[in-house]
Every structure is written in structure tokens, then in C-alpha cells.
Amino acid sequence: MLVLNCPYCGLDKDETELSAGGEAHLKRFGPGSSDEDFEGYLFERTNPKGLHFERWRCAFGCGKWFHAARCTATLEVFGTYKAQTLEPPKVIKDVITTKRPGWSWRNFS
Amino acid sequence: MKRYSVFAVAREAMRQHSGWGRAWSNPEPKTSYDVIIIGAGGHGLATAYYLGKNFGITNLAVIEKGWLGGGNTGRNTTIIRSNYLQDASAALYEKSRSLYENLSQDLNYNVMFSPRGVMMLAQTQHEIRGYQRTAHANSLQGVSTEFIGPSRVKELCPIMNIDGPRYPVLGALWQPRGGSARHDAVAWGYARACSDMGMDILQQTEVMGIRQKNGNVVGVDTTRGNIACKKLGMVVAGHASVVAEMAGFKLPLESVPLQALVSEPIKPCMDVVVMANTVHGYMSQSDKGEMVIGGGTDGYNAYTQRGSFHHLEETVRALIETFPMVSRLKMLRHWGGIVDVTGDRSPILSKTPLGNTFINCGWGTGGFKAIPGSGWGFAELMANGESPLTAGFGLDRFRVGRFIDESVAAGVAH
């Protein structure tokens, strides 16, 4: 059972209390954007075997969206952080760097 | 290759089975091949087989990180059916189902295809309408299915409780020519036939990088050295995104675990395959007597071949209402496979942004049934650059919005 700590209510939540929201930090493209950008936003996904950043929702708790940094190969959780950010905060990046030196994910490292 | 036959069995019985050779060879990699297929699962081996059989391309290697058929080919619930709603899907899956009918004879290897019939239960009013629509579509597509009522369902599968309080059985979409086959034998049969045509199957050889020049593929880097090739086929299911990243492009895929489990062996009690899509469970009985049960996918990306326990719990809980006898069964084994799921729940058989490189992926939760048809179509695509079977399944459909939308139409379980 995957357990994530909701950064809003501060409680550890089992995955049955959460709902997964897919890849984090997507740049949104709407009407007026190029076909390529729109396709990329809607369908193309970073699908790594290893470190991944995702959106999650505290569905049966406070109801808020948040972010999680996690490994898809080992299910290790590196940390969770609030949704109001365009990239992972330094404290999360530091945790990942100690555990996975030399990591990179999309444009972040 | 020694042909397998009743005479071969008799001959070997006389000499204490000392004359059976290896089913496929275990060669050292050559420095170059005309075609390299990454992934020796069912789809990869079938592609190699039909490239050899239909197009005479035998200077070919199939590269496999683990062992042959050790991924999703050996981890599925072996259901074979073609009752899809959309024309493109029905054509591909029906081709596949019809190839399964003669596959044992074609490969000279018993894949134990058993056309025992597949029923998809309608347990809500919405499903009744959906399956009646599918049955009408299938009759136009030349796929033989029919919508049957609850009494016929009970007659075909007497162990079923059709008056469940939560999800009564209101009818079913019945495909009498669907069924199941032995999954390992499909991989082994194709591998033996490929090896016999002179192809190299390189097991425990992991691809580490894709070499390219002027926008075209020129070879692959592997744990056993660099191998050059003129054409490359990527057929790696759950790891498609990982291999595509080596080639420098992204795919519209997410990889999630899908789980299955089998019970202790019991006496024959069920001679059809039953799928219940509303409650996300499907069940059949193997030749050994085990009840083979499959469920839904996990909700988040992962590459762990096990999955979350609560999904399994939900599947079994749902099946107990429809099959009360399951509640007294002990479960023997449980496992997960990593399935690559696309936005429209239909596969990708396509050219890629890298020249002379082709990809076959996105089969999601339903790839086993498609192995022969997918191999047939993908081989044609790789040899000729186009194939009527795969025309609708290109990567460009996500750009232009021409989806093959089976996720809504046919129920998500495959």
C-alpha cells in the first residue's frame, strides 16, 4: 500500500484515500496553440522507470491537490509538496539528490 | 528442426526420449542484421515470424532483456476474442483470432487454442444497450457474436448466480468462437519457428542505446556489444516509453501494473470464459483446473510487477457475488505485469520520428489475443512501409484527433 503525506492536512494517507492525477508540472496549451503543443499537452507523457513527479488528490480527506516525488520502480516516496508551484521545491530536490545522485526529470535536475 | 508429430513421439518413446533437440538455438550475436526486433514476447516473435514467412526476411535478430516470453506474454489471462466496436479494431483482432485457429498447425507447435466461447456480462441497462450495439456492429464487420439473455447465460455457465442483489446478470455479448490458448506455448511456438528460419533470438541481451545517423537508425548498443541494423522494431510493451526515450521521442503512454491470480486446481466446472466489465473481473478455468482470474489496472504509474493488494481484493469481492463458489477457493499464485496504456485505449502500430524505426506498443490490458494479428500487420508495416491492418493505429492519430475510441465503447477491461 502506497502511503503519501498530504501537505495540506498533514496526515499520512493510504492510496485508497487518494486519487492519482498523472504527470506533474505540465504546461497547459489551449485554443490558439500549435497542433504539436496541444498533442504534447494532451497525450505525450513522461513515463519514466524511476523518479517521477505526479499530481495527487487527497480525495477522501481534505480534497486538495498536491504533488508527490516518487520512484516508479521501487515505489519509494521522496516527498510531497503543495500544488502552488511550477517546479519541485529545493527541499524535495535535496532529498532526491542524496538518494539518487545525478537525477534528472524533464528539464529539472 | 525436427517436426513434432505422433510418429516423433512414438520414435522417441522407443529410445527413451534421447533424440529431442533444442527447440530454438542460443547463438552469439552477429555484428549486423537486416532487421532487429527489440522484445522477444509474443508480439515481437510473431512480427519476426511473419517477416520471415510472408516477406522472406530472415537475417533478423530478436533481442530480449530477460527470457523469452517472460514479460506480459507469460503474465496474462489468455483470453482471445474479437468483439470490438470500432471497425479498425475488429479487423485487427478478428484477423488475430482467425490466425489462432490454425496456429498450432502453422507453427507445428501445440498452442492449445481452445475456442470455448467468451461472454461479456451485461450487468447494467447501459451495458445491455452497449453490447447490443456492439453485436450489430460485429455483424456488419463479419465478426460472429450475438447478444444473449440471462437464461442462456445460466445455461452456458451454470455456476453463475444471475440474480445478484447488486449486479444481476441481465444478458451477455457472446462470441462462441473466442476462447483461450496456452500463453507460453504461443511464445515458444513462434520462437521455434523463427529459429528454424535462421533468425537469432538473443536472450539476456539488454538494449542500452539506439544508434542513429542522419535521422535514421543504424544499430543498437546492447550488453553484448553493438549490433548494426537497417530496420528496427520496438515491441517492448510496458517499457516502450523507456526504449523510445533512447531513440529520442516521447509516446502517449503511461505504464501501470495489471494483476491476475489463479486458484487451487479444482474439477471442471466452467467451460466458457466470462468477463464482467462493470465490476472489473474476468474468469476462466485452465486445463489444469485452476480458476484464472484477472482484474483492473492500478491507478498510478509503476514498473513493479506486482501491483496493489486492494485492487485484487476488489476484483475477488466483485466476482464472489456472480460466482459464489469462488468464496471457498484458496488462491495459489498472484502476479502483475506492466501494461502500457494509451489515451484512447487502442494500440500503436506505427512508424516513428526516427527513420526506419517502427513501434508496436500500447496494447494496454489486452495484448495476448492480438499476438498473431499484430505480428502479421506489423511485419507488413515494417516490410512495405504500410499495412491495411495497422493503417488506423498510427502515432499521428493523436495529432489529428482520429482516435480509435474503445475505452468508452467496449468497456475498459480487455
Q: Return d(Cα B61, Cα B412) in angstroms, integer.
A: 34
Residue ranges covered by each domain of chain A = 3-99
Q: Which of B317, B341, B365 is the last residue of a domain?
A: B341
The domain A3-99 is classified under which CATH number: 3.10.129.10, 3.40.640.10, 3.90.79.10, 3.30.2270.10? 3.30.2270.10
Task: Report which of A17, A16, A5, A27 is spatially closest to residue A82, judged by C-alpha positions.
Answer: A5
* pTM for this entry: 0.94
> Using one digit for the tens of pLDDT, what is the confidence trace for B267-317?
999 999 999 988 788 999 999 999 999 988 888 999 998 888 888 888 888
Question: Domain containing B373 — which CATH number?
Answer: 3.50.50.60
Question: Domain containing B131 — which CATH number?
Answer: 3.30.9.10
Task: Tell me the nearest-neighbour CA distance from B33 into chain A, angstroms.
Answer: 29
With beta carbons under 8 A apart, name residues in chain B contacting A42: 343, 398
DSSP B240-309: HHHHHHHHT--BSEEEEEEEEEEEEE------SEEEETTTTEEEEE-TTSEEEEEEEEPSS----SS--H
The residues of B whose Cβ lies within 8 A of any Cβ of A are 239, 241-242, 245, 250-255, 299-304, 308-310, 340, 342-343, 398-400
In a shared domain, residues B348 and B388: yes
The answer to whether the CB atoms of A22 and B242 lie below 8 A apart is no
Of all residues in chain B, the one with the smallest CA distance to A76 is B302
In a shared domain, residues B324 and B258: yes
Q: Is residue B109 part of a domain?
A: no
The answer to whether the CB atoms of A1 and B309 lie below 8 A apart is yes
Q: Return d(Cα B272, Cα B283) in angstroms, integer.
A: 9
Beta strands B179-180 and B290-297 are unpaired
> Using one digit for the tens of pLDDT, what is the confidence trace for B19-51?
999 999 999 999 999 999 999 999 999 999 999
Q: Which of B293, B313, B341 is the last residue of a domain?
A: B341
In a shared domain, residues B230 and B197: yes
In a shared domain, residues B168 and B190: no
In a shared domain, residues B161 and B188: no
Determine the pLDDT at residue B414: 46
Of all residues in chain A, the one with the smallest CA distance to B397 is A39
In a shared domain, residues B337 and B353: no
> Using one digit for the tens of pLDDT, what is the confidence trace for A2-19?
999 999 999 999 999 999
- The number of distinct structural domains making up chain B is 2
With beta carbons under 8 A apart, name residues in chain B contacting A35: 399-400
The residues of A whose Cβ lies within 8 A of any Cβ of B are 1-2, 15-16, 19-20, 22, 35-36, 39-40, 42-49, 52, 54, 72-75
Q: Which residue among B299, B301, B340 places its CB closest to the CB of A72?
A: B301
Sign of CA dihedral B99, B294, B283, B318: negative
Q: Which of B318, B341, B364 is the last residue of a domain?
A: B341
Q: Which residue among B245, B340, B399 places its CB closest to the CB of A39?
A: B399
pLDDT digits (tens), chain B, 414 positions: 789 999 999 999 999 999 999 999 999 999 999 999 999 999 999 999 999 999 999 999 999 999 999 999 999 999 999 999 999 999 999 999 999 999 999 999 999 999 999 999 999 999 999 999 999 999 999 999 999 999 999 999 999 999 988 889 999 999 999 999 999 999 999 999 999 999 999 999 999 999 999 999 999 999 999 999 999 999 999 999 999 999 999 999 999 999 999 999 999 999 999 999 887 889 999 999 999 999 888 889 999 988 888 888 888 888 888 899 999 999 999 999 999 999 888 999 999 999 999 999 999 988 999 999 999 999 999 999 999 999 999 999 999 989 998 865 444 444
In a shared domain, residues B236 and B263: no
In a shared domain, residues B229 and B365: yes
In a shared domain, residues B239 and B385: yes
- The H or E element that residue A76 is part of is none
In a shared domain, residues B139 and B175: yes
Contacts of B136 (CB under 8 A, 6+ apart): none
The answer to whether the CB atoms of A43 and B301 lie below 8 A apart is no
The 3-state DSSP class for residue B378 equals: helix
Domain with B43 in it? 27-78+183-252+344-409
Q: Which residue among A1, A16, A47 places its CB closest to the CB of B301?
A: A47
In a shared domain, residues B128 and B263: yes
Contacts of B105 (CB under 8 A, 6+ apart): none
In a shared domain, residues B335 and B268: yes
Q: Which residue among A16, A20, A47 places its CB closest to the CB of B241?
A: A47
Determine the Cα angle at B186 with ends B184 and B191, to 5°.
Answer: 95
Task: Indicate if ipTM > 0.95.
Answer: no
